[in-house]
A = this chain, B = another copy of it.
Amino acid sequence: MKILVINPNTTAAMTESIGAIAKKYAAPGTEITVCSPEWGPRSIEGHFEEQIAALATIETVVRYRDDFDGFVIACYGDPGVNACREVTDKPVLGIAEASMHTACLLGHKFSVVTVIERACALIEDGVKRVGLSDRCASIRSTGMSVLEIEENPQQAVVQMVEQGRLAIRDDGAEVICLGCAGMGPLDDQLEEQLGVPVLDGTACAVKMLEGILAYGKSTSKVRAFAWPEKKELPGCSPLLQSVTSSAD
């Protein structure tokens, strides 16, 4: 079972730490490869970067679609996940959706603790898209950027514990989802301090993807995620063009 974990951010250190988590929790028979797109933002904190990263991620899935059994998109905006579901018949999971679905099995309500304030709006739309608004107690910001968290993890822990505690005490959260792939390595520390399950999306997605692959299932191709229609894509990269030139 070969899984490609794509970090839509082009920051090598983050890609590395995401890969470490994915490998740490992967089953014995799972071969994890981690990569980031060849181009795109160093970090994703708003719609602009998300849209760039989405296309770069889609291109990455196309590039490797014959080489892996399934794909994980390791950014909490799940950039491009639905488009990726169209360009391959292998399953594709975003870490936000995976962590939210997992959280619902472990507690009555979950909260997401994330980076700077503006990301909360993005994640709120994500929760609505997934359909789990009723189960989401709150989305809270640490006020730190993705790269600040990467560079200063101990400060990040302090902020995240503070927001996590407020989520548990004031919002009724019972599970905390880490709202940024870069926060993954902090999950154990946080869980110890908060006393509730703290979920890293990458770990959740790898485990759910292994399960889906072992069960022999993949994306439904009858409607929303059918193969793209055949059409021209003038000016696009050969990889992207390969998707719709050969479609029938």
B218 touches A106 (CB 8 A): yes
B235 touches A85 (CB 8 A): no
Cα separation A97 to B86 with both chains bound (whole Å): 25
- Chain A, range 102-137, C-beta contacts under 8 Å to B: 102, 104-109, 116-118, 120-122, 124-125, 128-135
Cα separation A121 to B222 with both chains bound (whole Å): 11
Cα separation A133 to B134 with both chains bound (whole Å): 10
B50 touches A83 (CB 8 A): yes
A10 at interface, CB cutoff 8 A: yes
A219 at interface, CB cutoff 8 A: yes
A212 at interface, CB cutoff 8 A: yes
Residue picked from A124, A199, A208, A232, most chain B C-beta under 10 Å: A208
Enumerate chain A interface residues (CB-CB to B < 8 A): 10, 25, 27-29, 38-43, 45-52, 54-56, 58, 80, 82-83, 85-87, 91, 93, 97-98, 101-102, 104-109, 116-118, 120-122, 124-125, 128-135, 145, 147, 168, 172, 174-175, 195-197, 199, 203-204, 207-208, 210-212, 214-215, 217-220, 222-226, 228-229, 231-236, 240, 243-244
